[in-house]
A and B are shown apart, each in its own frame.
Chain A
């Protein structure tokens, strides 16, 4: 539990200080770990996608609440690939060009489950902490 608390506080701090490997968009900032998680989620939910497709999916889910430099998706993809959570293969895109399609591996799916659970707990905890702050 203490690990969770620490992680939650870390997140709050990094929001507060605007530090960390944050990706700057015109409207809001998203955390690096968050981006990786979103990319992984997109691949698990929709099956093989190329970078452009992933960017569209995140844009759609994010409801314009944040925008990102789409190139950073490729950084996330590289990180996920090095961890063995996704693989890639060449395919043909809708504009008839050769493109790299990414898909989640078994390890990736498991990781997503773990991360989701952690996230939910962290979110609850952050919520509680913020509520506590109001009462004081």
Chain B
């Protein structure tokens, strides 16, 4: 064994040493032969005889030399070194070819690598928690309303006590709260979380302590842990903050800890502060209607060896044995157990995979293009290969040499590609909406580098192998004698080239079609008729929490005050208050209509319930369809009124007039008379149809609040000059009420469509790149085809053919190649978009217009690209061609 290593190292040394040795085997052999010859001379032979005998006794020198060389080092490595030297020489000889090929490869590999960087950051990198793959999200699905996923607190407590599959379970709610710090009201996103949450995620406070389990109980929960960001921002990183009391809108809390800077909660938006869950556990477990609360998220850590499936089965069993009273059971309840990572990236997965697929298509186009280039300069290389073959190089050896050349090209391209990926990160970071988890930074790590390397290897095989095998296949005699233009060889090559060009056409059509669909999808989503006029509207969202406004009267006074002030701000045409589109949630409020009974066992209709100011619909530009708007005189002392939207009127009062009917939300409320019907406004997300909605004047409603409401200001001056003024006016009315965002409504809509926008930009971009690459490929293919038909064209011209006919001849050939590709491409595009149909919104996957436009666009570009070679062909001087042939 030890000798094996010795020999190995000796041979490795041989790789470097043998050639430079000053005393080579030849010298040694010469001395040996001379001594042998002398010996035979002494035995009385003639000098001629002696030399012959010596050579005979010594054996064949050249075979011996070969065998010694093979043994001295590793011949395969030596030949690789040789091939590398040749490859670099090739680069020096043909810098333009190398430059072009490497640039195309760099673009392709750069594109896939940067997109893979996004996939890596978002999908593949584990969440930043200890053993994050063992974390699951648990939640109940209330089948009555499938969009709602939350859990009842008593159920969570029972799971925690009774399960055998989780080592730990924690629950939390996200609560918007106001913090008064330095006389300023800060709107905070806070967490009410089980004490178990931090240990479960595997983190500890940077300073101070975590919560005690006893602090989960209501009444003992007035302790808080700050995020690093809040600590720096509100307290300037003061270490004495521990033990200090802070005012949140639901009481006074003692700061007990600060979280590390690197930590972030498993929530979509950053959290500023956390307090214990604070539930009265004894009371919850009685499951009385009045005391049962909810938790939004439950996170659990699987015990070692427990699979997600087993946990799911156990939770199903547990759930079916819970003593849930009928009023809570709603319909049936099932439990969802999903890996935490999927919970966060689930809806992104398909989008990213579609984009990665598109990128793979681009890479394929790149390969085809480089293969084009390689085949295109086949002529000179073929002679070289023929000579090599004639001198005794084996097929294997020639293939190896060509593959090494391709590999050098790919690696060159990959190196430049990584640089491109590195620089394009800033561009991508600008495009990616910040709400996508993990996309805050796009690290170029080993996985990304490995991906770039792997794509280089794949491209090497894809573009290098075909041409390499083709070249190695030539019989040397044919190529050398027939001037390197044996008919069969060139026909073979033309088939290859046309096939490649068709393939490129097909891929480009797929790319163009999917880019087109995505652009349409985005356009329809963003610029659909939303039911309101968004330009010139500035919005200021506020969260009017119940804790800050204990009674409806205080809230009404606040809104009256602010609206009154806002109207007088210079530059403001009018101000209103109401729900801000596009919203996210679904309508969930049950309601009653006077004189109607909902049959038992059927789902009761639901509608959105929104409090608005009289001016709201006028400000938003929502049309009044029937009846009258809410007016200033509709106050708490007058007849309760309501407006409904068209969807409500249509679905609940088909064929009759909704006006005059009376509705209410709670049985103990007075009936509200419907006085008007307004146009539909999308409040449940842009991709969803408008839902039934009831609007009531805020002066007549009880509590309005929650997220999603705010002031609507119509102004020609834009957001910049107004933002500070709006905040000031609100603060003058109530200095403790923070304003969350001041922005234009258009900006908000842009934010809401950021993801489809990104997808449209990327896919559209890939479509264009695909178009360019296909055109480039077609151009070079036609160029080569024209060159190989020089003789034929020359004869045609000599026999009186018109240059115009020659141009048409070449263009027809190009059209033929493209048509074959187009048919294949259209079929692929249809098949693929059927697979990914859920990906497009509002457009049919097989939309003929998109396909037709893509195809025509490609054909026209392709013909333009073929025109140059065609014109060149028509300008051939026949006498010249015929003379040189």
Would A52 and B31 be within 8 Å (CB), given that A75-B67, A79-B71 are in contact?
Answer: yes
Write out the residue numbers on chain A whose beta carbons fall within 8 Å of the beta carbon of B32: 50-52, 55, 70
A69-B57, A94-B35 in contact; A75/B64 too (CB < 8 A)?
yes
Cα distance, A72 to B3, chains bound together (Å): 21
Chain A's closest residue to B10 (CB) is A82
Residue A90 at the chain B interface, CB threshold 8 Å: yes
User: Are A69 and B31 touching (Cβ within 8 A)?
Assistant: no
B59 touches which of A52, A71, A83 (Cβ 8 Å): A71
Within 8 A of A (CB), among B35-63: 35-36, 38, 57-61
Chain B residues whose C-beta falls within 8 Å of the C-beta of A83 in the assembled complex: 3, 6-7, 10
Task: Tell whether, in the assembled complex, residue B64 and residue A50 are in contact, meaning their CB atoms are under 8 Å apart.
Answer: no
B23 adjacent to chain A (CB < 8 Å): yes
A72 to B58, alpha carbons, bound, how many Å?
A: 8
Q: Is the CB of B35 within 8 A of A52?
A: yes
B68 proximal to A (CB < 8 A): yes
A-B contact count (CB 8 A): 71
Which one of A37-45, A95-103, A118-126 is at the B interface? A95-103
Are A75 and B71 touching (Cβ within 8 A)? yes
Give the contacts of B17-35 with A (CB-CB under 8 A). 23, 25, 27-32, 34-35
In this complex, how many residues of chain B approach chain A with their Cβ under 8 Å: the count is 27
Interface string of A21-33 (1 = CB under 8 A from B): 0000000000000
B662, CB-defined interface residue at 8 Å: no
**Chain A residues closer than 8 Å to B68, beta-carbon distance:** 74-75, 78
In the complex the two chains form, is B25's CB within 8 Å of A74's CB?
yes
- Please measure, in the bound complex, the distance between the C-alpha atom of A78 and the C-alpha atom of B68, giving whole angstroms: 8
B160 at the interface (CB under 8 A from A): no
- Among B30, B58, B71, point to the contact of A78 (Cβ < 8 A): B71
| Residue in B23, B38, B72 whose beta carbon sits within 8 Å of that of A90 in the complex | B23
A99 touches B25 (CB 8 A): no
A93 at the interface (CB under 8 A from B): yes
Question: A70, A71, A75, A95: which contacts B31 (Cβ < 8 A)?
Answer: A95
Chain A residues touching B, range:
20 to 34
Enumerate chain B residues within 8 angstroms of A74, measured Cβ to Cβ: 25, 28-29, 64, 68
B871 proximal to A (CB < 8 A): no
Q: Is B11 an interface residue (CB 8 A)?
A: yes
Asked if A20 is at the interface of the complex by the 8 Å CB criterion, the answer is: no
Q: CA–CA, A122 to B498, complex, Å? A: 69
CA distance A78 to B70 in the complex (A): 11
Chain B residue nearest in CB terms to A85: B3
Contact A98 B31 (CB under 8 A): yes
CB-based nearest A residue for B11: A82
Q: List the B side residues contacting A84 at CB < 8 Å.
A: 3, 6, 10
Interchain CB contact (< 8 A) of B35 among A71, A93, A100: A93
Q: Given A69-B57, A78-B71, are A52 and B36 neighbors across the interface (CB < 8 Å)? A: yes
- The residues of B that contact A78 with a CB separation of less than 8 Å are 68, 71-72
Report Cα–Cα, A100/B28, bound state, in Å.
7
User: Known contacts A72-B59, A84-B3; is A95 also within 8 Å of B35 by CB?
Assistant: yes
B39 to chain A, nearest CB (A): 9
Interface centre among B30, B59, B68, by most chain A C-beta atoms within 10 angstroms, is B59
User: Roughly how many angstroms separate A51 CA and B57 CA in the complex, as a whole number?
Assistant: 13
Can you give 8 contacting A-B residue pairs, CB < 8 Å? A69-B58, A70-B36, A70-B58, A70-B59, A71-B61, A72-B64, A95-B34, A99-B31
Closest 8 CB pairs of A and B: A69-B59, A82-B10, A71-B59, A71-B64, A52-B35, A82-B7, A52-B32, A99-B31
